[in-house]
Structure formats: structure tokens, C-alpha cells
Structure 1
Amino acid sequence: MTLRFGLQAKFLAGMALVLLAVLALMAVMWQRQETMQAQVFDVGRQTMRELVGERLKRRGEAGVTELAESLTNPMYYSDLDAIGTLARAAMRQPDVAYVLVYDPQGRIVHDGSGDIPAFGQPMGDEFAFEIVNARTTHVQSSDQVIDISAPIMIGDQRLGGVRVGYSLSAIKRDEDSANGAMHARLEAIGRKHVVWITMIGAGLLALGALVVALVQKTLVRPIRQLADVAQEIEAGNFETDAPVTSRGDEVGDLVRAFGRMSSSVARHDRDIRRMAYSDALTGLANRLAFRESLDRRLLQLRGAGRQLALLFADIDDFKRVNDTLGHDAGDEVLVQFANRIRETVERMGGDGAMLARFGGDEFVILIESVLSPTGNHGDVRTAASRLAEALVAELSRPIVVQERQVFLGTSIGITLFPEDASGSTMLMKNGDIAMYQAKVAGKNCHRFYSRAMDQAVERRVRMEQDLRGAWERGELSLAYQPVYSLNDNQLRGAEALLRWQHPEHGAIAPSVFIDVAEQSGLIETIGPQVLRAACEDTMRWQQAHPKSNKLFVSVNVSPRQLRSGDLPRVVATTLKETGLEAERLHLELTETAVIGDEIHASGLLSRLRASGVKIWLDDFGTGFSGLSHLRRVPVDGVKIDRSFIADVLRDPDDLALTTAIIAMAHSLGITVVAEGVEKEGQFDILRERGCDLAQGYWLGYPMNAHEFAQLLA
């Protein structure tokens, strides 16, 4: 039989340790009392000594000062008899050991004796030097005497001085007597404390024994009974009789709680499963619950000839909400999105639909094919397409958060079972790929998974890898397209355009690799490099051709750079280090880059304009609400999109719209630039309508920095 260190033994051991600790504490208190008595005695003796010494010092200073004043006339007339009379009178004062009257050179004039044996001799003791040089009352002391001196003055003339030595022997005798009495009192107090400590220790021992007996009866014994019952329940014997008690304390509550234990365990198990399988923010199923449900559905559907679709919905540009409005606003947006998705799925998803939040801004929906009135299963592809279109439309509506409208949208990827994959892992991977392709396609749309998407993803990943470090390897370069004035046909500036010459694939279209850079975040590294290179090239043109000192350079800024909030600092640093004047740098932003959050964009652009940098709105007219932005977003110029310029000669509507844009921008003091001028007729009609600047193939193709320098020459 194994011996067990039970609760009763542990309690007894604990009580023993407590009693030992109390005894040790009492011993420490006893020792501390002895130490404290010694410290009190030392402090009292020191205090008494300082008090008596201070009183003697004050009395002596007053007496010596008065004696010095009394000696003024005798010293002036050199009346030794009068001086002796005063000195002897002072000698008769209590505790006075000596009286010395001296001249200005420190020689003794009188010492209070009858024959003055030291007359005329210099004072040679340890106090003499400071006394002779003192101009006021001066106090010095040793273990045997306190020496107090005062100068004898008549007007400003010093006649000499007097010093009186006060003996400390009598004071020490009084001090020893008082200290003896105080030590006796402290000893008596200490003995009383020892008696009290002993009584307290005995009381604690008695109390400990009483507590042991009480705990044994009221706690240890009932808990031992409950432990026996718990072992029976653990063994599966839930019908065992629990101890019956009428006690109203905690032990009684514990005994009665055993009867409710079974139902409580079941309830807690349900609560734990709900917490483990639901999203805390939205209340939807989480990734774990969805994955388990998907696995069960796939087992049921295999061989049944039924289909299943997964829709992966990701909020477009959700990071911008957290960055500009904060994470609390982001959580509110997620809750509103989840409610809209839930309502749409309940309305159109069918009975077997399931909605889950996978974390962040990603939601996943499962729908199954349903029986038609003819008994056939419906086409799940059509149902998924209808549901995705409804979700895109519903989630495109603005969301009101913190009294502001937020326009987002969603990109949805759809994958089908068993057409695309037969396992949950591959289905979820395919859904992610399809959702990513929806974002690549322009966002706020849906795409079905296809085998070709795998190849597209691989190409995009490979392009992203090749793009990393392409600037450092010299594969990326800048081309400059001239910008001319329509009024006098003079060269005014250039737009910097990024080009990529891949070592294997040759020239990569900017529309392809810039989108990869934007999606991957590489644009935040490449963008500042482009800005610096454009500023450096412009400075070189100015140094080589001083007459071109008003030439500007325009650099495109991506929406991601604008959202980061670090753009003003990067621009200021680049201008300072390259030496380019701020007004010669134009930053171009697309209209869609500022639509999402005009307040954030306006603040950022205002800081840039305050530094002297010009802001141009690129692709103007393609953002649906572009005209209203000119009133709210601070810009210096707009670039009319090439789609309007292309048909300006044959489409009256494009001509009217272009004319209206020019007139409206001029009324606001904004410069107008036309892009894509490829014909002389376009140039002429834009000049007639008052357009300020133009660029396009008819005026000049993009060229490298050296070719542009030759154009300036």
C-alpha cells in the first residue's frame, strides 16, 4: 500500500512551519529590541551631549561678548588692575577653566592671576592662530574644553581680544549620570517587552492547536468524504450518494454542488465548443468550424452526384480604413460587412449555405446545389455566380462609420467541387487563387477558378521575384516624354516614365509590372528611387543647359505611396539632397487614388503643396465624380485622359466634355494638360479651346535622359 501525504498531514506540517516561523519572528523581534535599545541609548546620549554643549556655547558666547565690551576702556587705557578685576570675576563663573586677555598681536595681557606670569608671551596653544585672526566671536572646542573668544574693539580699531575656556568635565559627569539612569529605564522596558513576547508566543501556540482541531473537524474530514465520492464519479458511478449536510458555509455549498456537476460539465462543454468554433467579432463560424464542416460535406457528397461551391470574398483596400480611421473603425466596418454578407447569403444561398470569417477581411461562403421542381439538382455554378454578383453589388454601397462614408467593395474568387478539386485543402487554395485573380482584374468583381490561373499566379510570383532588385541591377530605367506649351509650342517639361528591360523576356509593359509592384508593396521601394533619379536628371539638364532652368519634371505617385503617409518626408529629403527647386517637381496621382479617402489625401497633398511641389491629377475624367474632386482636393493641374483626346476630332461629345473640363479648371485657376496628342488636328483644336500643355507621340516619344538632353540642346 502506497503511503500518501494527505491533506491532514499537509495541514499539520503547514501549521508546524507557521509556528516555527512565528517563533523565529519572535526571536528576531527579541534581537531587534536589544539592538533598538542600544540605538536609542546612543541617540539619547548623543542628543544630550549636543544639547548641553549647545547651551554652554550660547551662554559662553553671551558672557564673552559682554566681557569683551567691559574690557574696552581698560584695554584702551592699559589699566591692568581693571582688566585683572574683570578677568578674575569671569574666572569665578561656573565651568570656567581659564580667562586670557590678549593684544592685537596675540600676546597675553592678563590671565586673571595676581602676578600674571604669562604677561607679554604669545599664545601658543592649538586655538591661538584662529583666535588672533578672528574679527568676530569665535568658538573652538576639544574633548576637554570649549574655547570662546571675542575681539575687543573701539570703533573700527581692534585693541585685542579676550578668550574664555569652559571645562567639559562637569558636563561629562552630568552626562554619565543621566545616561546611567536612561540605561536603567531602557532595561526595565526591555524586560516588560520580553514578558509580553513570551505571553504572545504561548497564546499563538495555544491558538494553533485550537485551529488544528477545528480544521480537522470542519474542513479536512468533509473534504476527505467528498474526495471519496469524486473518485466514484470519476470511475463512472454517477449514482453514488454524496454526503448530506445542512451546513450553510462554503463546504456545504461544495457538497450540494456535486449534485449539479453533470449538467454543469455538459453546459460548459457546449460553451467551450462555441468559443472555439465562432469568430469573436462577427459571431460567424471561424476557420476551424468551416474546415470541419467542409470535410463533413465533402464526405457526404462524394459519389452522390451533387456539387458544391466555395466563394472567397476579400474586402478591397480594407487596410486603408485601419490606417486612416483606426482599428475600432475597421472592426465596425467588418461587422457591417458581415451583416450584409449574412443577409445576402440567407436570401440567395439556399438551405445548405454556410458563412465563415477566416480572419482579417476575408469571408468564405459554402453553397450546395439544390433540387429543382423536376427533381434534378440545380447548377451550382449559376447559383454561385448570382450570389457573387449580388454580394459585389451589395458591398459596393457606401458604409457609414464615424459619421463618414467609406467606399470599399469586394473581390470574390469561386471554386467548385468536384470540378476543380476533390479535397478541402485544394478547394481552399483554388478559392484563394481565384480571389487574387479578381483583385488583379480590377477589384470589386468575381472570378471562377481555372487551371490557367495557376500558371498566371506562377508567372506573377516569378515576375515579383525578378522585380526585386531590378533597379540595383540596372534593369529598371526612366524614359522622359516631352511636355509642350500649346500657346507657343515651347518645351516646358517632361513626364518621367518607368521602363523595365528584363534580361530574358525583354521589355515588360509598365501596365503589367507596375501592377505587380503595387500589389506586392515593392512600389514603396521603387517609387522613392524613381523620384530621386528624375530629380537628379533634371538637375543635370539644368547644369548643362542653363536656359532650361524653368523646366519641370513630373513623377507618377502610386496610391500605395499616398496611403503610407510618408510621401511628404520622402519628397522633402529628395529635393534637399538633389538640390532641385520644389516648384520644378510635379507629382501625378490618379483620380481613383484620392476617391477612397479624400480627407486623408487632401491633408497629405496640402502639405506637399505648402512646400512648393505641384500636384497634378492624372487620367482626369475617368473617375465618374472627377469634377467634384476639384473643389475638395488641392491640385495645381489636371491631365485630361487620352480616351477623350483620341476622339476629340470626330466625337462632338468628347469635344464638348474636353472643352468643359478646360473651362472649369481655368475658372478654378488649375492648369490643364492633354495626354495622347497624336495628330496635328488634335493639337490645333486643343490650342483653340485654351488647353495649356500637351504631350503625345505627335509632340515627342518617350526617350532616355541622354536623348532628352540632346533635345534641350
Structure 2
Amino acid sequence: MKLFAGLQAKFMTLITVAMVMMLAVVALIWQRQTTTQAEVLRLSQEGTRSLVFDRLRQRGEAQVTQAADLLVNPVYYFDLDAIGNTTRSILRQPDVSYVLVYDARGNILHDGSGDIPTFGQQMGDPLASRIVAARDLQVLDTAQVMDISTPILIGDQRLGGVRVGYSLDKIQVEEARINRETTSRLNEIGRRHLTWIALLLMMLVSMAVLVGIALQRALVRPIRRLSDAALQIEAGNYATDLPASRRKDEVGALVNAFSRMAESIVRHDRDMRRMAYTDSLTGLPNRLAFRETLDHRLMQLRGVGSQLALLFADIDDFKRVNDTLGHDVGDEVLIQFANRIREAVLRIGGEAGELARFGGDEFVILLHPVGDHGDIRAAAAHLAETLVAELSRPIVVQDRQVFLGTSIGVTVFPDDASGATMLMKNGDIAMYQAKVAGKNGYRFYSRAMEQAVSRRVRMEQDLRGAWERGELSLVYQPIYNVADKRLAGAEALLRWQHPVHGPVAPSVFIDVAEQSGLIEVIGPEVVRAACRDAMRWRQRGGAANALFVSINVSARQLRSGDFRDQMLAALGESGLPPELIHMELTETTVLNDEEQARKILGHLRDSGIKVWLDDFGTGFSGLSHLRRVPVDGVKIDRSFIADVMRDPDDLALTSAIIAMAHSLGMTVIAEGVEKEGQFDLLRSRNCDLAQGYWLGYPLGLDEFMALID
């Protein structure tokens, strides 16, 4: 309280002394002035102000009207570059304080600056509401500026508006100059009073100087220092020297409080920037930080003939880790992946490599050559090969080994793109092609990739709703007992009759369905349709009662949480006995998550459904997996059957698979039988079932039922 009282006493003393002295001076001067001089001075000031303001207003109205005409097309087509050129040309005009181009709702489109920090913000000044609501030219004044605005119209449609603020500083200076001249002339009239007026003015000036010095030292100087520091902090310059004071009054307390507040702002800004630019899980730079780095690098390299490479690395099948092992394990896997990538980039790229986590399971590496003769493509290929090898090694999490791979897309600046956005898009396309090519590899971007992606996107769009439109249908390939060549069942195969392109190869559209997730929609429909069709031929009676139907199931279907319920619901709707439906899965489907596969397949087998392992021999399963996964039969891949008559190795492998499966109590099915000799060899080796073009082509339902009859 003493501090406040001391400062208040100082101000009150200064104000009282100043007021007394000023009243004395004013009283003396007032007595010596004539009514005529005062009236002349007033009229002169009014005439000067009216003349100058009218001149500025006329010039401003013409300039704003012309600007509105020029901005019609740029605002209509949202051409920010053209808008910026017009606003910057106006800003260069004398007396112009600001230029704002806004849309019909009052949101700022351009302010004449380079980066447009106010873009999209609502104009919030006191004049804004009147300006936005106006339908014609508006001239509004404040103490500092004359604001002239007009709407931008195309026909009767209002696109927005433009407003220009003209500084009144020069006008006030000009007005003051004219007033000084008028005053000087009037003073000449009263020169006879000059002596004693001069004495009074000297007294007034002396008083003002003394008061000014006192206020400067006591108040203005510390407040100015605070203002300068605040402006530096507002501009983002947190390294500015903060003011400090040893005074014990209110100003000293204010200065020290401001210093403490500024230090807190600096710490908070540092923490916020670290949070905004760093991935919280891996500690790597995030997408925002990487984009700024990429923009900066491209600006440095543009026009100097240097190159850089962008590598997009995406973990293959990472969703399976989160779905089966939980997100905590998924986070640990991401951390270990990030560490491996960081070590590889440091080892191979050194200072030339910059790594960031782009989000989810995607990482991006920026690689630029060291020196003037670095081969950026060779360096990028070497790094990509190393990453594929390093990330293929198993990751141990919670005493479990997790096998994952990575698909990497590589794109080069400026060969593939000249801007950051296109460069990142091309890297993403190349990464997608690496996944399509089989995953766990890398691909360089090419123009053909973009065309392939476009075709794939169009196919995905066409495939959506294809089942409902009747374009997708099932055919059935007969499966025979090898011993007596008796019909045992059929494999349900999906076919697509495109309304424009005709038949589409299953190898093409099934892959698209898998990648896009449409298989989770189409798969259950296939199961229901196959069960209904199998029930129809079962109703023929006789031998048809025992004919089974086998259905191919993808890894994506198996991973869905309700797959077992879908299968059982299809059986319940159709009335088909569970033992007459055989589910076919590939080795890789089972191996991708053996634990989940064992649990789901166990439930299905308990329900009576039989499980076959398709394409057996082409993967990496072996006996250990066959013992752990509940499987009723194996299908020998057609690649073994094709050469079984002339290649002793294929014959030996086929014989070994049959013997091994029989020793484990499993049924053996051979696919791809296209010659009588192949069938005879399989019969001599006691193969159970066979299918292939020699035995029968895939048939529509009616044709297959005719075959049964």
C-alpha cells in the first residue's frame, strides 16, 4: 500500500503544480487574445481540414472502386496470387495503412502480406459489421484512419469486398503546418504583446520540460521498455533482453512482474513447440516438422541442380498387431521399428538422412547426397534394401516374436516432382505399389505407377456394389475321389462380369477386394450363396446328399471378429449340415497370426466345419505348424502337380506331402490336374481328392446340378 501511495502522491503533486502554472499562463494569454483572432483561427482550421479530407476521400473512393473491379475475377476464382498482387500494389501507395480483401461472410481472404497470417479469420474491428452489411461504397473515420470500403459484385451476387485504410497522420501533420502558419500571422498582428507573451511561454515551456523530464524518468521510460519487450515477444523473438527494476514503487513491481511473465511465456512456447513438432511415442519429428524441413530443403535446392530422395516406409499388416496383441504391444512395436530405422538411417545416410514419423505405422526419410557427385538413386536404393532387411527381423515383445515387414516407396526430386505436395504423393504411390507387388520390398516411383493406381481405384469403385447389381456370381469346380473317380463335392469360385470390360480375372479383382477391405463385405455374401446352392443340390437326394462345398477364405475375413458367427449364421439360414462345408485357407493366412487362427479354426471345427490348407508346399509352414493348427486336409499346390510326370523332385515332394498328411490323419487334395497321367500318378500315391480341367471346368449352378443328375 505504501508503494501505491508513494506513486499516487508523486503524480498528484506533479499534476497540481502543472495545473496551477497552466491556469496562470492560460489566463494571461486569454486576456490578450481578441475574439477576432480566435474566430479567424477556427475558420482557417475548419477550411483546411475540409479541403484535405475531401481530397483524400476522393482519391480513396476512386482507388477502392478500381480495386473492386480488378478483384472480381480473382475473388470469384479464389486466385490468391492475383489478389495478393492487387493488394500489394495498393499497399505501396502513400498514406495506405492496410488493405483487406474479404469474402461475403467477412472472412479475410488476403491482407497483402506474403504468408497471409490472417487468412480465414473473421474481421473483428468495430467497423467490420457495418462494412460487411453495406451494399455500396462506405467511408468511415476513426481517430487514426479513414476506412473506405466497397463490395465486390458479379452481377447481383456479392462475392465479398475490399477495404483500404488511409492513415490520417500526414493529414494531421499538414493541418498542423497550416495552423502554424495561420497562428504565426495572427501572432504578427499581436506582436506588440510579444514581450510579455514570450515571458509567459518561457515559463510554460520550462514547466513542461520539468514535468516531461520527471514523467520520462518516473513512468515513460520503464513503460517504453516494457512495450518494446512485449512487441519483441509478440513477434516471436523470445531472446530479447527482459527489463528489470530496483524501484520499490508500482512501476518497479510492474516491470519485475512483466519479466517473470515473459520468462514463463518463453518456457511455455519452448514446451509447446517441442510438443507440436515431436511425435510423443517415438520421439521423432512429426508430420508438421517434416513438412517444414522438406519445404526448406526444396527451397535451398531449387535451381541449383541438386537432388534429394524421399522414402515412405509403411509397416506391412501392422493393424493385425493392434487387433490381436493390443495397442500397448503395437506401441512397443512402433518404438522398436523407429529405433531400427533411426539406426539404419544414421549408419547409411549419416547427416544426409532425416527421419520422421508421418503418422500411424508410416515413417518417412529425407535423403540428400553428400558432396556434389552423390548418386541419390543408388544411395536411396541401398538404404531401402537395408531397411527391408533390418525390419524383416523378428521383434520380441512380451516374450513373443512378432514377424513384420515393411513396404517402401522412393521418389526423387526434381526428377519426379518439383514441389513438396507432389513429391509426398508420389512417394505414397510408390509405397502402395510395393505393397501390391508382394510387400516387404521397395519400389521407385514412375509415371506408370500413377496410371496403375488410377486403374486400381476405378476398379475398386466399380467393385463396390457389384454383388448387389448381380455382376458377381459363383461357379463350382468339381472335386472327385481319386480312388473311384466319383464326384465328392465342388470348390466355389467367384467370378465378375463387368458391364463394360467383360469378365475380370479373379487374380485381379480379388486382390483389389483384399487391399480395399471389400472382401469383408463380399466374403459373407459368398458364404451364404454357396451354402444355399449346396443345399439345393443336396435336395436332389441320393449321392448328392454327401456332396460338400469348399469356400476360400482370406486372411482379412479370418481376422474379423465375427467371422465364426458369420459362418454359423450362413449354415443356420440354409440348413446345410456343417460337415458339408469345407473352408480353404492359405498357409500365409494361418502363419500371419497362428495363435488367432488356431483359436478361430478350433471353434469352427468344433461346430463340424472342416478346414483345408490351400496352396500347401508354397509357403514356409512345415510339420511344426501342421501339428499346432487344427487342419483337416491339405491341398497340394498346382505348381507341383504340373511337373509331377517329368520332374522327379516334384513327384517326390508330392508323394512326401501325401504320406505326411495321411500320417497326421489329414485328407489330401490335388489341384491343377490337367492330364490323365497326372491323375493316374496321384491314384498310385493314394491321393484322396483331385480337381482340375481334365476332371471338370468350373460350372454355373444349373450346369453343376445337371452334372449331379
In structure 2, the CA distance between the partners of 1:272 and 1:229, relative to structure 1 (3 Å rule), is farther
Q: Matches of residues 193-232 of structure 1 in structure 2 within 5 Å?
A: 232=225
1:284 paired with 2:280, answer no
Partner of 2:369: 369
In structure 2, the CA distance between the partners of 1:239 and 1:317, relative to structure 1 (3 Å rule), is closer
The 2-side partners of 1:389 and 1:240 are apart by: 56
Partner of 1:543: 539
1:329 paired with 2:329, answer yes
Partner of 1:588: 584
2:555 alignment partner, one of 555, 559, 566:
559
Partner of 1:142: none
The 1-side partners of 2:658 and 2:268 are apart by: 70
Q: Matches of residues 595-674 of structure 1 in structure 2 within 5 Å?
A: 595-674=591-670
Deviation digits for residues 491-549 of structure 1 (CA, Å, limit 9, x no counterpart): 10000000011111111000000000011111011001111111111111111243310
- Letter of the structure 2 residue corresponding to residue 563 of structure 1: R
Residue pair 1:561, 1:567 contacting (<8 A) in 2 also: yes
The 1-side partners of 2:339 and 2:264 are apart by: 33
Q: Tell me the CA shift for residue 618 of structure 1.
A: 0.5
In structure 2, the CA distance between the partners of 1:244 and 1:604, relative to structure 1 (3 Å rule), is farther
Q: Tell me the CA shift for residue 236 of structure 1.
A: 2.9
1:354 paired with 2:344, answer no
In structure 2, the CA distance between the partners of 1:241 and 1:586, relative to structure 1 (3 Å rule), is closer
User: Which sections of structure 2, spanning at least 5 residues, go unmatched?
Assistant: 1-7, 9-217, 231-240
User: Which sections of structure 1, spanning at least 5 residues, go unmatched?
Assistant: 1-7, 9-224, 247-251
SS of aligned partner of 1:565: coil
The 2-side partners of 1:683 and 1:504 are apart by: 39
SS of aligned partner of 1:676: coil
Q: Tell me the CA shift for residue 264 of structure 1.
A: 5.0
2:567 alignment partner, one of 565, 571, 591:
571
In structure 2, the CA distance between the partners of 1:493 and 1:244, relative to structure 1 (3 Å rule), is same
The 2-side partners of 1:656 and 1:592 are apart by: 23
Residue pair 2:308, 2:413 contacting (<8 A) in 1 also: yes
The 2-side partners of 1:282 and 1:513 are apart by: 37
Q: Tell me the CA shift for residue 232 of structure 1.
A: 4.5
Q: Tell me the CA shift for residue 403 of structure 1.
A: 1.4
TM-score, normalised with respect to structure 2 = 0.65
Q: Tell me the CA shift for residue 241 of structure 1.
A: 4.6
Residue pair 1:555, 1:587 contacting (<8 A) in 2 also: yes
Q: Tell me the CA shift for residue 353 of structure 1.
A: 1.0
SS of aligned partner of 2:285: coil
Partner of 1:56: none
In structure 2, the CA distance between the partners of 1:241 and 1:485, relative to structure 1 (3 Å rule), is closer
1:233 paired with 2:226, answer yes
Partner of 1:317: 317
In structure 2, the CA distance between the partners of 1:229 and 1:615, relative to structure 1 (3 Å rule), is farther
1:294 paired with 2:294, answer yes
2:403 alignment partner, one of 383, 403, 407:
407
The 2-side partners of 1:501 and 1:230 are apart by: 81
Q: Tell me the CA shift for residue 305 of structure 1.
A: 1.3
SS of aligned partner of 2:373: coil
Residue pair 2:482, 2:683 contacting (<8 A) in 1 also: yes
In structure 2, the CA distance between the partners of 1:257 and 1:626, relative to structure 1 (3 Å rule), is farther
Partner of 1:68: none
- Letter of the structure 1 residue corresponding to residue 228 of structure 2: A
SS of aligned partner of 1:595: helix
The 2-side partners of 1:699 and 1:518 are apart by: 30
Residue pair 2:353, 2:367 contacting (<8 A) in 1 also: yes
The 1-side partners of 2:355 and 2:387 are apart by: 13
Residue pair 1:310, 1:414 contacting (<8 A) in 2 also: yes
Partner of 1:99: none
The 2-side partners of 1:245 and 1:500 are apart by: 88
SS of aligned partner of 1:388: helix
In structure 2, the CA distance between the partners of 1:532 and 1:239, relative to structure 1 (3 Å rule), is closer
1:476 alignment partner, one of 466, 472, 477:
472
The 1-side partners of 2:350 and 2:375 are apart by: 12
Partner of 1:184: none
The 1-side partners of 2:602 and 2:219 are apart by: 75
SS of aligned partner of 1:696: coil
Residue pair 1:396, 1:444 contacting (<8 A) in 2 also: yes
Partner of 1:214: none
Residue pair 1:310, 1:364 contacting (<8 A) in 2 also: yes
Q: Matches of residues 117-136 of structure 1 in structure 2 within 5 Å?
A: none
In structure 2, the CA distance between the partners of 1:239 and 1:353, relative to structure 1 (3 Å rule), is closer
The 2-side partners of 1:231 and 1:609 are apart by: 84
- Letter of the structure 2 residue corresponding to residue 297 of structure 1: R
SS of aligned partner of 1:351: helix
In structure 2, the CA distance between the partners of 1:239 and 1:320, relative to structure 1 (3 Å rule), is closer
The 1-side partners of 2:256 and 2:301 are apart by: 49
1:530 paired with 2:526, answer yes
Q: Tell me the CA shift for residue 260 of structure 1.
A: 5.5
The 2-side partners of 1:304 and 1:454 are apart by: 28
Partner of 2:96: none
1:441 alignment partner, one of 434, 437, 442:
437
Partner of 2:451: 455
Residue pair 1:350, 1:370 contacting (<8 A) in 2 also: no
* Percent identity (aligned): 72
The 2-side partners of 1:449 and 1:336 are apart by: 28
Q: Tell me the CA shift for residue 352 of structure 1.
A: 2.2
Q: Tell me the CA shift for residue 350 of structure 1.
A: 3.5
In structure 2, the CA distance between the partners of 1:273 and 1:667, relative to structure 1 (3 Å rule), is same
2:461 alignment partner, one of 454, 465, 469:
465
The 1-side partners of 2:633 and 2:479 are apart by: 13
* CA root-mean-square deviation: 2.4
- Letter of the structure 2 residue corresponding to residue 233 of structure 1: L
Partner of 2:423: 427
Residue pair 1:590, 1:619 contacting (<8 A) in 2 also: yes
SS of aligned partner of 2:438: coil
Q: Tell me the CA shift for residue 343 of structure 1.
A: 0.4
In structure 2, the CA distance between the partners of 1:472 and 1:255, relative to structure 1 (3 Å rule), is same
SS of aligned partner of 1:634: coil
Deviation digits for residues 458-512 of structure 1 (CA, Å, limit 9, x no counterpart): 1111101111111111111111111011111111000000001111111100000
In structure 2, the CA distance between the partners of 1:550 and 1:262, relative to structure 1 (3 Å rule), is same
The 2-side partners of 1:438 and 1:391 are apart by: 14
- Letter of the structure 2 residue corresponding to residue 605 of structure 1: L
Q: Which moved more, 1:348-357 or 1:234-243?
A: 234-243
Partner of 1:502: 498
Partner of 1:242: 245
In structure 2, the CA distance between the partners of 1:547 and 1:266, relative to structure 1 (3 Å rule), is same
Larger radius of gyration: 1
In structure 2, the CA distance between the partners of 1:693 and 1:253, relative to structure 1 (3 Å rule), is farther
SS of aligned partner of 2:619: coil
- Letter of the structure 2 residue corresponding to residue 648 of structure 1: V
- Letter of the structure 2 residue corresponding to residue 282 of structure 1: T
- Letter of the structure 2 residue corresponding to residue 242 of structure 1: S
SS of aligned partner of 1:411: strand
The 2-side partners of 1:531 and 1:239 are apart by: 74
SS of aligned partner of 2:658: helix
Q: Tell me the CA shift for residue 269 of structure 1.
A: 3.0
Q: Tell me the CA shift for residue 272 of structure 1.
A: 2.2
Q: Tell me the CA shift for residue 326 of structure 1.
A: 0.6
The 2-side partners of 1:239 and 1:507 are apart by: 76
